[in-house]
Each structure stands twice: as structure tokens, then as C-alpha cells.
Amino acid sequence: MTTPSPAEKIESDIFSLKTRLGWLQDNARLNSVRDALEDFDTLARGLPGRIQSLRERGYAFEKDLEPRATDFADQWAKLQPSVTAAANQQAALLQNAMRPLEMQMSQLATVKTNVAAARPLLASLEAGMETMEDKVKAAERQIVGMYDAFRSQVGSLDSHVDQLEWLYSQLAEAKFTLLPTESGIMAVKAVWCPDVKENKDDPEGVLYLTDQRLIFEQKEEIATKKILFITTAKEKVQALKWEAPVALIEESKASKQGLLKNEDHLDLRFGEGAPLETIHLHIWQEGNEWVQLLNRAKSKEFDKSRAIAIDQAEVEKVKSAPSQCPSCGANITQVVLRGTDSLKCEYCGYVIRL
């Protein structure tokens, strides 16, 4: 490899500094901070509308969502002008501080053929850029610090609303329908492992939790044709695999599995009347969070925070459901869910209208 001459080395260093100066000029305008402020403004002001949309789609719980979102929007309306003003002020100061560096770069271009004169200018310009970069970072930290704690609070609510929006987007595509007065609570991507140990052919789909049921729907693309182990054709498979009343969940346990212990798994045990005695799932969400959700759903804790009241006629229908089959006298053991129109005796097949 040929060693560059001093003049070539100077030319290369000047090119690098010119590129670096261009980035620094852009950063000194605090464009990234301004963009982040605009994005956050859209987020904070848009939360009330997103929650209203969730209500219209059927989300019945957490009646404090509306006041929280409205309060955040009000707080930001008061805080935003001062943060924006500080960003404008800091950007003006930084751009003024850039002038000497820009002048040095112009001066360097005129002496680049004079190695002896160019070297000290290069060193001075590089040192000035390092100082300027530190000033830009300090200004960015100052602006972000003005609303960082508040941004974290809003971000937490935003993440929760994202999860609920995904739940209802999945419900809109589901092959099953919710019962009257039944409301979704959470959904997560999951793999159902019938043999407990996860296999490559285990059905992948969505696990749904409502205030009445736990539901797993397979929803995936399966290879239908392969050539030399390369998939050349796929088929979308979507089908309800099982559902169980939340009331029949007797135990739920979370565990970390996988080679790096970074996979979340759930083990569920059900009481008499459930379609399966035990169920093992690999889920794409914190397992302990789901254990808490399942316990809260079973204890009907979510009903305490309802924003949409339950139709009392449906409640009374459940209360008045017979405990014995009027045809054969057998005990009705199945859980009667709100919104159910009829029961079928498991002994004689008689259909009981509610």
C-alpha cells in the first residue's frame, strides 16, 4: 500500500472535517430535538382520541384512561411552549457559535496546498469541533431534561394503548366473535404447545383474554410446498383451537425457557368442565404480567374499573339459568357465560333456551 504524501494527507483530513462540519451544522440547529418534540406533541395530544376509538370498538375497562389522557394533554399544552422556546434559544446560540468554525474551514480551503500552514489550522478546527459537539450534546440534554419525566409517563400510557389497539385489530380479523357484553382485555402472540415441549409444528397464533374467556386462535402461514428445503408456496391458516371460561382457571404459572432463558412461557391448569386439563403456551410478553391479568380476570377485578356498564338483562339471564336439565334432570355443570342464549345438556342433548 502506497503511503500518502503530506499534501494528500492534508486533503483527506480536510475532506473528513468538511463532512463532520456538515453534520455539526445540522445538529446545531437541534433538528433531532425539534423532531422529537413534534412527535411527542402529536402523541400527547392524540391520546384522548385514541382512547375514545377504543371505547367505540368495545374496550370496557380502565375508566381512568380518559382522565389520564386528558390530563396529559393539558399538562403538555402548558409545558410545550417553554420547551419549544428553550429549543429555539439554544439553537440560535449554537448556530452563532458555529460561525468561527465555518470561517476556519473557509480559511483552511485557501491554504490547503501549504502543508505547514494547514496543519495548525486543522488541529485548531478539530479541537473546536470537539468542543462544539459537547455543547450540542449539553443543549440536547437540557431540552430533553425539561420534559423527560413527563415523557416517560406519557410513554407508559402510549405503550398500553398500543397493546389495546393491537388487541382490537386482532379481534377484528378473528374467526370467532365476542359474546354480547364480553370485552377483550389483552392479546398476545403465542404458540400453543400440546406436548408441553415446543415443537416446530405447534400452532402459532394469538392468545386472547376477555373478561369471560381465554381463547387461542391459530393464525399463521404454513408452507405447502418446498423445493430443496426452500419454501415456494404458503397457505394462511386461521382457526379457533380452544376456548375456556376464565372462571375455570385453577392455576397459572410463568417461566423463562430457551437457551438464553429469554422466552416467556405459561402453564395453565383448569378445573372440571374445561376443554383441556392443562395448557402450555410460549408467549411474546412478560409471563408474570399475564399471570396477574389472568388472576384479575378470574376475580372480576376488571369489572370494578368498567367505563361501559354491563347490560343487566344479560346478568339476570345468567342468574336465572337452571342448575338442572328440565328434560332428564341431570346437573348442569358448564359455566354459563353472559351473552349465552342457550345451553346443551351434555347427557341427553336437550337445548335449554335462556
Given a cut of 90, whether residue 132 has pLDDT beyond it is: yes
CB of 90 closer than 8 Å to CB of 137: no
Q: Where are the domains positioned within the chain?
A: 6-158, 174-305, 311-354
Max avg pLDDT among 89-98, 217-226, 319-328, 337-346: 89-98
The contacts found for 293-299 with CB under 8 angstroms, 24 or more apart, are 293/185, 293/186, 293/209, 294/209, 294/214, 294/246, 294/249, 294/252, 294/268, 295/252, 297/185, 297/209, 297/210, 297/211, 297/246, 298/246, 298/247, 298/249
Q: Stretch 55-64: mean pLDDT, rounded?
A: 96
Other CB atoms within 10 Å distance of the CB of residue 313: 10
Q: Stretch 326-345: mean pLDDT, rounded?
A: 86
More confident: 23 or 224: 23
DSSP structural state of residue 229? T
Given a cut of 90, whether residue 348 has pLDDT beyond it is: no
In the Cβ-directed half-sphere of 212, how many Cα atoms lie within 13 Å?
A: 17
Q: Stretch 327-343: mean pLDDT, rounded?
A: 86
The whole-number pLDDT of residue 56 equals 96
CA distances from 104 to 10, 12, 110, 204, 271 (A): 15, 17, 10, 62, 79
Lowest mean pLDDT segment, chosen from 25-34, 39-48, 219-228: 219-228
The whole-number pLDDT of residue 48 equals 97
CA atoms of 316 and 304, how far apart (whole Å): 18
The whole-number pLDDT of residue 232 equals 66
Q: What would the grid cell of residue 315 be? A: 346478568
Choose among 208, 209, 238, 207: nearest CA to 221: 238
> For the segment 241-273, what is each residue's pLDDT rounded down to a tens digit?
999 999 999 999 999 998 889 999 999 999 988
* CATH of segment(s) 174-305: 2.30.29.30
Q: pTM for the full model?
A: 0.86
